[in-house]
A and B are shown apart, each in its own frame.
Chain A
């Protein structure tokens, strides 16, 4: 099996940034554009996924338009010795879409663990989070729930289409 050249890899990366072609054999179509073999393109894409360059061939939904209007950022102040264990645990909870550790900025900002939760109704999301915190024995930890009340449009933002990475 022939491998892609560096030039072909760059070109493939650029093509994929525009999305996967909606064709019966998308990797064949891409291979034809690169002057490569389908199997080489597929193997390259698989190896990029294994390396973690992307997580999945997925999609970006306009979630607000689909009724997911309640967007909550749960922030917690977790002792440093416990934050990794707790982050791993909360990250596995169905319903927590993103879970990151970020630095505290004392005295203005005491929270170091961030979780994003999206739901249809605010009251439901609040109740779900409070129940989760009680169940996990975390209700005593200092925490805040920051709901978004408005999303601002960007005039030509570069990363607007990439929420997974962009909440970075």
Chain B
């Protein structure tokens, strides 16, 4: 990654201008060439630096539901429970965190009723209680990684 890639990624994290010819606008800002910028984004997608480029719809606004959930998994069962969750398509972003609640993951479903069903399933399959922490208020969303 060179200086132009870094400037491009830092700029794009704020969003591509919503205009007819967005790359012309961006090239002017970054003092570059629009075709070069598109090639750079394509190369960053190809090498896996970027996993996606485009608008990210808010699933909740489209009628879906999410929650953040946690489990308190005994050490000797950690791998087994992680494998079980890895095979559930509703589960995303499963992280081990340093706390007695040591497994943290996101559940995404079509509705909140389905989330509750999914939590029930995890509780039955693991014999563990799930901490269900659905978002009540959003104060800020804006992942930004200064490069």
Measured CB to CB, the closest approach of chain A to B130, in angstroms, equals 10
Look across to chain A and name the residue whose beta carbon is closest to the beta carbon of B6. Answer: A66
Given the known interface contacts A62-B49, A109-B101, the answer about A55 and B56 at a Cβ–Cβ threshold of 8 Å is yes
Q: How far is the CA of A161 from the CA of B34 in the complex (A)?
A: 26
A63, A118, A154 — which one has the most chain B CB atoms within 10 A of its CB? Answer: A154
Instruction: Please tell me if B126 contacts chain A, counting CB pairs below 8 Å.
Output: no
Q: How far is the CA of A36 from the CA of B137 in the complex (A)?
A: 38
Look across to chain B and name the residue whose beta carbon is closest to the beta carbon of A46. Answer: B18
Measured CB to CB, the closest approach of chain A to B113, in angstroms, equals 16
Q: How far is the CA of A114 from the CA of B67 in the complex (A)?
A: 13
Q: How far is the CA of A51 from the CA of B55 in the complex (A)?
A: 13
Q: A148, B51: Cβ atoms under 8 Å?
A: no
Look across to chain B and name the residue whose beta carbon is closest to the beta carbon of A84. Answer: B137
Q: How far is the CA of A99 from the CA of B16 in the complex (A)?
A: 23
Of residues 118 through 157 on chain A, the ones whose CB sits less than 8 Å from some CB of chain B are 118, 144, 146-157
Instruction: Please tell me if B124 contacts chain A, counting CB pairs below 8 Å.
Output: no
Option from A25, A63, A84, A159 in Cβ contact (under 8 Å) with B59? A159
A153-168 interface bits toward B, Cβ cutoff 8 Å, 1 = contact, 0 = none: 1111111111111111
Option from A24, A58, A71, A147 in Cβ contact (under 8 Å) with B13? A58
How many residues in A have their beta carbons less than 8 Å from beta carbons of B? 80
Cβ–Cβ < 8 Å partners of A158 in chain B: 89-90, 92, 108
Cβ–Cβ < 8 Å partners of A88 in chain B: 139
Measured CB to CB, the closest approach of chain A to B25, in angstroms, equals 12
Q: How far is the CA of A161 from the CA of B108 in the complex (A)?
A: 12
Chain B's interface size range is 35 or more
Q: B96, A150: Cβ atoms under 8 Å?
A: yes
A37-59 interface bits toward B, Cβ cutoff 8 Å, 1 = contact, 0 = none: 01000100110110111111111
Cβ–Cβ < 8 Å partners of A25 in chain B: 20-21
Given the known interface contacts A92-B140, A100-B137, the answer about A20 and B55 at a Cβ–Cβ threshold of 8 Å is yes
Q: A98, B143: Cβ atoms under 8 Å?
A: yes
Of residues 64 through 90 on chain A, the ones whose CB sits less than 8 Å from some CB of chain B are 65-66, 68, 71, 73, 84, 87-88, 90
Q: B12, A65: Cβ atoms under 8 Å?
A: no
Cβ–Cβ < 8 Å partners of B90 in chain A: 158
Cβ–Cβ < 8 Å partners of A48 in chain B: 55
Q: A59, B52: Cβ atoms under 8 Å?
A: yes
Option from B18, B24, B58, B68 in Cβ contact (under 8 Å) with A42? B18
Cβ–Cβ < 8 Å partners of B54 in chain A: 16-20, 57
Interface residues of B (CB under 8 A from A): 9, 12-16, 18-24, 34-35, 38, 41-42, 48-62, 66-68, 70, 82, 85-87, 89-99, 101, 104, 106, 108, 131-145, 147
Beyond A20-B54, A118-B143, A149-B96, list 8 extra A-B contacts (CB 8 Å): A23-B38, A24-B23, A60-B50, A90-B139, A147-B97, A152-B86, A152-B96, A154-B86
Which 5 A-B pairs give the minimum distances between C-beta atoms?
A: A56-B15, A168-B66, A91-B140, A91-B139, A19-B54
